[in-house]
Each structure stands twice: as structure tokens, then as C-alpha cells.
Amino acid sequence: MSLDVAALRAQFPILTQSVDGKPLVYLDNAATTQKPQIVIDALVDFYTTTNANVHRGAHHLSDEATRRYEGARASVANFINATAREEVIWTSGTTEAINIVANGLGQLLAEGDEVLVTELEHHANLVTWQQACRRAGATLNIVPVFDSGELDIEAFDRLLTANTKMVAFPHVSNALGTVNPIKQLTAKAKAVGAWVLVDGAQGIAHGGVDVQDIGCDFYAFSGHKLFGPTGIGVLWGRKSVLKDWPVWQVGGEMIKDVTYHEATWGELPNRLEAGTPNIAGAIGMGAAVAWFQSLDVAALRRHEKALLDYATKLANDFEGLRIIGTAKEKVGVLSFLLEGSHPADVGFILDRQGVAIRTGDNCAQPLMKRFGIPGTARASFSIYNTLEEVDSLFAALKKAKMMLA
């Protein structure tokens, strides 16, 4: 079955906008996706009819807010095939999710221990481990990538040792679009007894994430890259690992007993969720997940691939354009450079034509240095983009090339 893109687009009110009289062509989906009306409605409805704090009030509104909030947790657990609802920890996003794990790890590491990450990392999955290692006197090792943007698996094997305590890698690279063989990497890491964290910020929106099948210990993602609100995300963790993971933030909601000098921690998921959570955000994310699950994921994937294939063909035919990241397994991310021009200038000229892309280091400065470039222009496609929008991108690039030549 092919995808009815027009019907899908109609659910996203923002996509009808114009920029400077030109139709908006939104190609910055790896930064954040747009929100369907059903998610916007869930947020408005919560604040209009149900707003109260969760888990505390002995009153109707609090009970209803708690029911919806915990219902959203159950939806997310079901979406990623978690074994239990309490394996889903609400966070403010992927960044906070990784910080929770890295901070806990910093308390568990000893001198001589090793952490393994890759050259592909977003800063959120790099700086966190740098800090954890520094605190413990542990070593951070980095798996290199080939020029294609694919990981060097032989180097991964060499760098994985009996001292490796944590292996962390992205499901999908935000800068290059590379899809990593996460099941294979996880199996190798588990064989040496390491914990495994998958940064799923970019992987989650492409569907089909099954945390049990992957076999990892942690999978982190953000609501806003999955058609949900900003300020909400998830740390999924295997229950047997999470239940004893050192706590990071402390305060209300996460405790069991408190005296003036001592405190004990509550059960999962609360022990890792201090303070009043982003209740509306969680409910909005639950709505986004339910909406996404109602779609035909195989058709979405085919559509995204068609967009990427078409854009890649036009890019290859475009004189003076260099694609950064040519992995065989890629999602709809086209990072590129226009010969003789700075990505920021390209982005500026595209914006004047209504085409929204990302320019810069893609929050991956070391990776940009690895490629010897200051950054890229990055067009990233989502399920509601069209082949005509890809044409608009390249028409705008033609103009940019003329103006910058």
C-alpha cells in the first residue's frame, strides 16, 4: 500500500504556512519534527480539563491526570516492547536520559575501566561519558568511522576489552544519517559483560524499535523527534539494571523514607524521576506514539527511502555538491557541502526561499573535524515531505550556487 502523503500532511497545521510568501518546505526534521493536530489537542485538552499534579492529590483531577500520565507511560512501553511499564523513565529528552545513565556510571566506574563510544556521536552521547570517565579516572575509547560514515567494526572489536564497562552508540547518526548495526554491536558488547546504551534520538522516528530484540540495557529518545512535544523524553532501561542504578537527581517523588539526616529511595520508575514531571508533555508524547502506531510503518519507511533516493540522485547530479555520509544503510538525512561556499550562507539563501534546513556542526564537532570540514548543510526528511519538496530544495540550491559563485 502506498502512503497518502496529502492526507498525512493535512494533519500538520504548521505545514500550510508560508515564509516570505513562499510555501514552507520543512526539511529540518532531524532537529525536530512537526506535530500533528491530535498531539496539539492532547496538550490543550490536558490543560483545559485535567490539569493537576500526579500521584499526590486525593481528588478527582489528580486521579485523572495520573491515569492519563501513567497511560502514556504504558503506551510508550508498548511502542518499544518494554517488558514492564516501570522500565520507562520520563526525562526532559535524550540528553537528560543519557545524563542519568552517565552520572550513575560515573559512580560505578573505577580507575582502569573503559567506556567505548564512536566517532559518530552527538555531543549528548560524548560529553556525558567524558565527564563520567574523568571523574572516575577511567578511559574513553572511540571507534572510528570510514569516509562513508560507516563504523569500522574491526576497530570496534579491537577496542572492546574485558575492561570495557559501558558501550554507547547512536542508533542513527544525526549528522550523516548512518544506521548502525545496533543488534550486532550490542551482542558483541554483552559478550564482554559491558552495559550498552543506544542513543535512539534519531532512530525512534523510523519505527520498529524493539528494545528486547536489540538486547541493550538502555535506549534513550526524545518526544519532539517523534511528532511529540519538546521537553519530554524517555530513558528505557532493563528493569534488573535500572532498579539498582545510582540515582542522579534527588527530591520529591523519588524517595521512600526521609528523616532529617537520611533518605531511602522509592521503587521504579519513581526512583529516577525526582520532582514534578512534565505531565502534559508525557501525555502529548503518549498521543504521538499512539498516532504513530496507527500508521503503516512499512509504507512510511518506503516513502522516506524514496525521498532519500531521489534527493541523493539529484545531489549526485548537482555539480559542485559533495555529500557527506554515503553509508549503505541510511535514513532520510542528506548532509552536504556546496563547493566554495559556507553552509551558513547556503542555509540563509534557502531560508529566503522557504526551505528550512540545518547548517553547522550538527552538535558533532569532533565528527566534523574528522571529515576536515567546519560543518554541513543538512536536509532531513520526514514522513510528510514530498518529492516536489525535494525538487524545491534543489531549485533553491541552484539559486544559492548562482548567488554564491
Among 35, 73, 122, 330, binds ligand PMP (CB under 6 A): 122
Q: Is 282 in the site for ligand PMP (CB under 6 A)?
A: no
Q: Which is nearer to ligand PMP, 32 or 164 (CB)?
A: 32
Q: Is 202 in the site for ligand PMP (CB under 6 A)?
A: yes
Q: Which is nearer to ligand PMP, 170 or 397 (CB)?
A: 170
Is the distance from CB of 377 to CB of 343 less than 8 angstroms? yes
Question: Among 88-96, 272-280, 346-354, 368-376, which window interacts with ligand PMP (CB under 6 A)?
Answer: 88-96
Q: Is 93 in the site for ligand PMP (CB under 6 A)?
A: yes
Is the distance from CB of 357 to CB of 377 less than 8 angstroms? yes
What is the rounded CA–CA span in Å between residue 126 and residue 142?
A: 10
Q: Which is nearer to ligand PMP, 113 or 119 (CB)?
A: 119
Among 199, 304, 361, 389, binds ligand PMP (CB under 6 A): 199
Q: Is 124 in the site for ligand PMP (CB under 6 A)?
A: yes
Q: Which is nearer to ligand PMP, 230 or 386 (CB)?
A: 230
Q: Nearest CA to 217 among 121, 85, 83, 127?
A: 83
Cα–Cα distances in angstroms (integers) from residue 378 to residues 138, 320, 362, 393, in the given order: 35, 16, 8, 11
Question: Among 7-15, 156-164, 196-204, 246-254, which window interacts with ligand PMP (CB under 6 A)?
Answer: 196-204
**Amino acid occupying residue 205:** A
> In this structure, how many other beta carbons lie within 10 angstroms of the beta carbon of residue 259?
7
| Binding to ligand PMP in span 354-383, by CB under 6 A | 363
Q: Is 278 in the site for ligand PMP (CB under 6 A)?
A: no
Q: Is 254 in the site for ligand PMP (CB under 6 A)?
A: no
In the bound complex, what is the minimum distance in angstroms from residue 83's beta carbon to ligand PMP? 25
Is the distance from CB of 169 to CB of 194 less than 8 angstroms? no
Q: Which is nearer to ligand PMP, 80 or 396 (CB)?
A: 80
Radius of gyration of the chain (CA): 22
In the bound complex, what is the minimum distance in angstroms from residue 180's beta carbon to ligand PMP? 11
Number of residues that bind ligand PMP (CB under 6 A): 13
Write down how long the chain is: 405
Q: What residues are paired with 166 via a beta bridge?
A: 115, 195
Is the distance from CB of 329 to CB of 179 less than 8 angstroms? yes
Q: Which is nearer to ligand PMP, 122 or 206 (CB)?
A: 122
Q: Is 125 in the site for ligand PMP (CB under 6 A)?
A: yes
Q: Give the CA angle between residues 10, 289, 56 to the nearest 5°.
A: 125
> In this structure, how many other beta carbons lie within 10 angstroms of the beta carbon of residue 89?
26
Q: Is 363 a catalytic residue?
A: yes
Q: Nearest CA to 89 among 247, 216, 209?
A: 247
Q: Which is nearer to ligand PMP, 225 or 401 (CB)?
A: 225
Residues 6+ apart with CB under 8 A from 265: 247, 254, 255, 256, 271
Among the listed residues 363, 364, 368, 393, the single catalytic one is 363
Among 95, 141, 180, 359, binds ligand PMP (CB under 6 A): 95
Among 170, 228, 286, 375, binds ligand PMP (CB under 6 A): 170
* Residue reference for cell 512510511: 300
Q: Please provide residue 78's backbone torsions phi and psi, each rounded to the nearest 5 degrees.
A: -65, -40
Give me the active site residues, please. 363
Binding positions for ligand PMP, rule: CB under 6 A: 93-95, 122, 124-125, 170, 174, 199, 201-202, 222, 363
